[in-house]
Amino acid sequence: MDDLYRELIIERNRSPHYRGELDPNDYTFQDENPLCGDNIRIDVRTDDAGIITEAAFSGHGCAISQASSDLLIEFVIGKSVEDVKRLTKEDVLNLLGIQLGPVRLKCALLPLKVIKAGVYGLTEATDDLVEGA
Amino acid sequence: MKDCKQIIGEMDTIKETFPALGRQTTSGADLVYLDSAATSQKPECVLQAMDDYYRRSNANIHRGIHTLAEEATAAYEGARQRIATFIGAASYKEVIFTRNATESINLVAYAWGRKNLKAGDVVLLTEMEHHANLVPWQMLAEERGIRLAFISVTEEGLLELDQYEEMLQLEPKLVSFIHMSNVLGTINPAKEMIRKAKAAGAVTLLDGAQSVPHFAVDVQDLDVDFFAFSGHKMCGPTGVGVLYGREALLQAMPPFLGGGDMIRKVHLRSFTPNELPYKFEAGTSAIAEAIGLGAAVDFLEKIGMSHVTAHERELTRYAMQVMGDIPWIHILGPGAEQRGGVISFTLDGVHPHDIAQLLDWDGIAVRAGHHCAMPLHEKFNISATTRASFYIYNDLSDVDALVASLRRVKEKLG
C-alpha cells in the first residue's frame, strides 16, 4: 500500500513535465470527478498523419490524478490518435506502477477518460471509455 | 469485550464496547476512527438487540397473532416509544420510522409540500445545507414552481442572522435548515430561528442528522414542526431513520408511500389510510433496525447526553487548539464554542484524497471530499476538504495521532 505514493508519483505530482494549456490545439477536453472535485483538461496537437506532437494538462486534483495525467501525456506523445483510442485501464496502471482500490482508480483513470473523449470528439465523457478494457 | 451496562460511567473504557474499534486497518495499524459524522460505530448492545430479534423473535409486526409476532411488535413499538421520549415528542404517534434523515425530508417535501406549496411560494433554506435538504426542494421547485431562498453563510461559517430576519419578510411557507453543519460543525441557533420563523407564519423543519447523536434535543422545547434524523450516526444501524412531525400537521398530510400497513381499509378502487404513525409506514419496516435504534437510544441515555456533549466539546477544543497552531492547516468554520465535534480542514499543497489515503496507513479514518455539501464548498471556493469528526469513543490520544500523522503527510507530499 505504501508504494501507492512511490517516488515517481510524488515527483510527477510535485513537478509535472507536461502541465499547461495548448492554444490552438487539435483536440481538447475537460472533465471532473464529481466525487472528489478533481478536474482535468487535456489539450493535444497532432501532425497531418495524426501523430501526437504535443500535449499538456491543466486543472487540479489529487497526487494520483496529477501524476497519471503527466505520465499518460508522456506516453502518448509520438503515438497516433488511433493508438490513444485503444488505451486501456491496464495501460494507465502500468504507467503508474501501482494497484488501486475502486475509489482511487477513478482518480487514476480520469486523464485517460478525458484524452479519449477528446480524440473521439465526444461532448460528454462516460465511464465505458475506460472500463471493460 | 465489555457489555453496555458495565461501560456506563466509564467513559475512558467506552471503546471496548464497540467491537469494530478493536481492529487494525489494512496497513496493520490500530484503528483510530474519526469519521463518525459519516456513520458512527455500533456498540455491543445494539448488535445484540438486533441479533436477539433475528434469533428469537423474528416475525412480521402488527398483524400476527402468535408469540413471535407479539414479541416483535412489542420490541418495535417499544423502540418507537423510547425514541419519542428521547427527543421529547408529545406522543409516539409523532415518530415515523423512515430509512434515514434523507427519506424523512423527502417525506415532508412529498406529502406536506405537494399539498401545501404552490407556484411562487417561498421555501427558505441556507447555504450550508446537506444535499438531503436541498435536492428534495429543488425537485419541488421544478415540479411546482416554488421559489427557493438561501440564508448566507459568513466567512466564519455562521448563518447571517440579520439577513435571515429580512428574508422572513418574503413570508416563506417553510423554513428548513440544518441543526448542526456536517462540514463546518456550526451549531445553528435553532430555537431562536424557529421562534422567528413561526412569528412570520412559516412551518419549520430541522435536519437533525448531526445534532441528535451529539447533544440533547427536545422537539417541544425547540417548538419545531418537523425534525429529521438517521439512526446510523447515533450508534444505531443503517436503514432506519426518523421523521418527527407535530401531530396536527401529520394528521392533515396525505400518505407518502402506498401499500400494506399504511391502510385501514382497502377496496378495489379506494383506501382509507391508517392512523398515525402507521399512515406513513408502508410495507414491512426495517424491524430489526428500529429495534437496534431503540437500543442505541437506551445506550446514549445511560451515558447521558450531557456527558456525550461535554466529552466531545473537550476533544473539539483540544483539536482546534493543536491544529490551529499549525500554520499549514486551515480549519473551516467557527471557533470551538459554536461548533460540535466536526473539523473540516485543508492542508497547504496536499489534496484531501491524498491526505485521507496517507492517514489510513496510520490507521486513521477520516473523510475527504465535499461531504454532500457541494454548494458550501463552492461558497468557500474549495473543491474538497478533509474532515475529522468525533464521538463518545474518541479520546485525546486520537487527536494526537491525527496531528502526528498530518505532519508526516505534509513532509511526504506538501
Of B193 and A99, the structure prediction assigns the larger pLDDT to B193
Q: Which residues make Cβ contacts (< 8 Å) with residue A58, sequence separation at least 6? A: A19, A20, A21, A40, A41, A43
B288 and B245 share one domain: yes
Q: Note whether B123 and B136 are within 8 A (CB).
A: no
The domain tally of chain B equals 2
Q: Note whether B35 and B63 are within 8 A (CB).
A: no
What does the DSSP assignment read for B282-328? -SS--HHHHHHHHHHHHHHHHH-HHHHHHHHHHHHHHHHHHHHT-TT
- B18 located within any domain: no
- B136 located within any domain: yes
Across the range B290-299, mean pLDDT stands at 98
Q: Which of B302, B331, B357 is the last residue of a domain?
A: B302
B216 and B339 share one domain: no
Structural domain range at position B313: 304-413
Reduced 3-state DSSP string for A105-121: HHHHHHHHHHHHHHHHC
- Identify the CATH number of the domain in which residue B184 sits: 3.40.640.10
Indicate if the pLDDT at residue B187 is higher than 90: yes
For residue B346, the model assigns a pLDDT of: 96
- A2-129: CATH architecture: Alpha-Beta Complex (3.90)
Q: Chunk chain A into consecutive blocks of 10 residues (it has 133) and report each block's average pLDDT, rounded to whole numbers.
A: 79 95 96 84 96 96 94 97 95 92 89 95 86 57
A-B CB pairs within 8 A amount to 49
Sorted by where each begins, the domain ranges of chain A are 2-129
Distance from the A63 Cα atom to the nearest Cα atom in chain B, whole angstroms = 7
Helix (H) or strand (E) holding B342: strand B342-347
Which range is least confidently modeled, A91-100, B78-87, B145-154? A91-100
Question: Quick one: B88 exposed, middle or buried, by C-beta within 10 A (0-12, 13-18, 19+)?
Answer: middle
Q: In the block, which residue shows the cell 484524452?
A: A115
- B19 located within any domain: no
Q: Please give the distance of CA B78 from its chain centroid, rounded to a whole number.
A: 22
For the whole model, what pTM was predicted? 0.93
B108 and B250 share one domain: yes
Residue A59 touches chain B, beta carbons under 8 Å: no
Q: Model ipTM?
A: 0.85
Residue A105 touches chain B, beta carbons under 8 Å: no
B292 and B334 share one domain: no
Give B318-341 pLDDT, tens digit per residue.
Answer: 999 999 999 999 999 999 999 999
Which residue in B263, B284, B229 sits closest to B95, CA to CA? B229
Strand order in the sheet with B385-389: B329-331, B342-347, B385-389, B367-369
Asked if B353 and A2 come within 8 Å (Cβ–Cβ), the reply is no
B401 and B271 share one domain: no
Question: Quick one: B62 exposed, middle or buried, by C-beta within 10 A (0-12, 13-18, 19+)?
Answer: middle
B298 and B327 share one domain: no
**Cell numbers given for B13:** 473504557
Indicate if the pLDDT at residue B6 is higher than 60: no
Across the range B94-116, mean pLDDT stands at 98
For residue A35, the model assigns a pLDDT of: 74
For residue A131, the model assigns a pLDDT of: 73
Indicate if the pLDDT at residue B308 is higher than 50: yes
Asked if B353 and A5 come within 8 Å (Cβ–Cβ), the reply is no
- B240 located within any domain: yes
B246 and B331 share one domain: no
B203 and B265 share one domain: yes
Give B217-264 pLDDT, tens digit per residue.
Answer: 999 999 999 999 999 999 999 999 999 999 999 999 999 999 988 989
Q: Note whether B233 and B39 are within 8 A (CB).
A: yes
**Cell numbers given for B37:** 459524522
B268 and B322 share one domain: no
Tell me which residue in B26, B27, B369 faces A36 most closely, judged by beta carbons: B369
B125 and B217 share one domain: yes
B289 and B337 share one domain: no
Which residue in B102, B52, B109 sits closest to B79, CA to CA? B52
In this prediction, what percent of chain B has a pLDDT beyond 70?
97
Asked if A5 and B26 come within 8 Å (Cβ–Cβ), the reply is no
Q: Just list the catalytic residues of B.
A: 372
For residue A108, the model assigns a pLDDT of: 94
For residue A132, the model assigns a pLDDT of: 54
Reduced 3-state DSSP string for B80-128: HHHHHHHCCCCCHHHEEEECCHHHHHHHHHHHHHHHHCCCCCEEEEECC
Q: Which of B302, B323, B341 is the last residue of a domain?
A: B302
Tell me the pLDDT of chain B averaged across its residues. Answer: 95
B343 and B195 share one domain: no
Residue A22 touches chain B, beta carbons under 8 Å: no
